[in-house]
Amino acid sequence: MKTILITGAAGDVGTHLRRELAGKYALRVSDLRPLKKFHASERYMRADISNFADALRITKGVDAVVHLGGYSVEGPWEGILSANIVGCYNMFEAARRNGVRRIVFPTSNHAAGFYRRDQTIDHRAYPKPDSRYGVSKVFGEALGSLYADKYGMQVLCIRIGNVNPAPIDKRRLSIWLSPRDLAQLVTIGIEHPEIRFEIVYGVSGNTRSWYDNSNAHRLEYRPRDDSEAYAAEVLAREKPGDATAERYQGGAFTVEEEIPNPAPLPRTARKKRR
């Protein structure tokens, strides 16, 4: 059984992914926050990925890294720099030094959030980040390209839309990714023999999708879910939003300077970082 490191394992996406992969891999789950529940196949290692020594420690002896850790929304540059720029570099470099050849980097739709909603884009679209957070994800994609070309690593970048059991609003009807479709994409990143460096969109087979995800389909992705099953219920409760946010794929990230962090650090960790 392969040993897979999942960073950011305490977050919503990490929690969904852990449940879906339970029993399929030996999971080394890591976060700066504590994890309260564990599957029998999981081993928890607390780490701050902005600390290179921590990144080296958690990547030692694994077969692949799924790097979900980081600041997950638009926020202050200091936090994004530490977690998403320094932390991302640390994870790639630590993996390289420890001989880990496979990295699955769940990037974000916000790396291309300033495309309009009436446009369909694919993996070759030039990055148009909608936020400092989006810029950090473009950085991670570029870093993945470097490590693939310079060091021969195998990197799958998944531009995740929104992972939830069901879509929660109109925008997410276009970018929704079910947990089981997330797990399928991550498994492709871990197992597919022909990956060198690839960018795909982390979305289910949504009727309303803004993405041509043919590159994922080329890698044998076969989504099992479609947000259209929830469309009537979602649209019935939808309320008008900001005109600019409604124009662009990135939604509120195109207009907000800071979005409440859904996964704040524990108080002791915040004090330590200061």
Residue 268 confidence (pLDDT) above 50: no
How many CA within 13 A on the CB side of residue 26?
7
- pLDDT for 265 equals 55
The CA-atom distances, in angstroms, between 220 and each of 7, 52, 84, 185, 200 are 25, 35, 29, 9, 12
Of the candidates 25, 89, 133, 201, the residue annotated as catalytic is: 133
Is the residue at 14 inside a domain? yes
Mean pLDDT across the chain, nearest whole number? 94
Residue 99 confidence (pLDDT) above 80: yes
Is the residue at 176 inside a domain? yes
Q: Which of 75, 76, 136 is nearest to 106 (CA)?
A: 136
- pLDDT for 263 equals 65
Is the residue at 232 inside a domain? yes
Residue 120 confidence (pLDDT) above 60: yes
Is the residue at 193 inside a domain? yes
Is the residue at 274 inside a domain? no
Can you give the CATH number for the domain in which 237 is found?
Answer: 3.40.50.720
Q: Give 112's contacts (C-beta < 8 A, 6+ positions apart).
A: 121, 125, 127, 128, 129, 134, 159, 249, 250
pLDDT tens sequence across 5-25:
999 999 999 999 999 999 999
Which of 69-73, 95-99, 178-182 is least confident? 69-73
Number of domains within the chain? 1
pLDDT tens sequence across 139-197:
999 999 999 999 999 999 999 999 999 999 999 999 999 999 999 999 999 999 999 99
- pLDDT for 141 equals 98
Split at pLDDT 50, 70, 90, the class of 40 is confident
Is the residue at 149 inside a domain? yes
Report the distance separating Cα 204 and Cα 212, nearest Å: 12
- pLDDT for 36 equals 79
- pLDDT for 274 equals 44
Contact 104, 2 (CB under 8 A): no
Q: How far apart are the first and last CA of the chain?
A: 40
Task: Please confirm, yes or no, whether 133 is among the known catalytic residues.
Answer: yes
Residue range(s) defining the domain that contains residue 20: 3-268
Residue 217 confidence (pLDDT) above 80: yes
Split at pLDDT 50, 70, 90, the class of 269 is very low
